[in-house]
Amino acid sequence: MKYLIVFAVLLVGIWLWRTNRRTESRDKKPPPRPTVSGPKQATEVVACAVCAVHLPRPDAVPGKHGLYCSEAHRRQGDA
């Protein structure tokens, strides 16, 4: 009879342990998934007319004879 009681207590303990683990796993938030946006627009790359350094077109300084990497090179190239 005592083995039956020990077995019943053991089963209840295992059942409580498993139920608690399931609750904890449900409460955990999944890790955030990285957001995927559409394809990115390619930026045109141009070369400085003085030193030939490549830079994105929006960062280039326009001058009379082309595009430059800085204001100093624009002055030097337009002189």
- Tokens 């019943």 label which residue? 8
pTM strictly above 0.85: no
**Model confidence pLDDT, tens digit, residues 23-42:** 766 666 677 777 777 777 88
Q: Rounded distance, CA 79 to CA 60, Å?
A: 18
Q: Which amino acid is at 13?
A: G
Condensed to tens digits (0 to 9), the pLDDT of residues 39-65 reads 778 889 999 999 999 999 999 999 998
The residues spanned by each domain of the chain are: 1-29, 44-79
CA 46 – CA 75 distance, rounded (Å): 18
Contact between residue 49 and residue 67 where contact means Cβ atoms under 8 Å apart: yes
Question: Residue 67 carries which side chain, given as an amino acid letter?
Answer: L
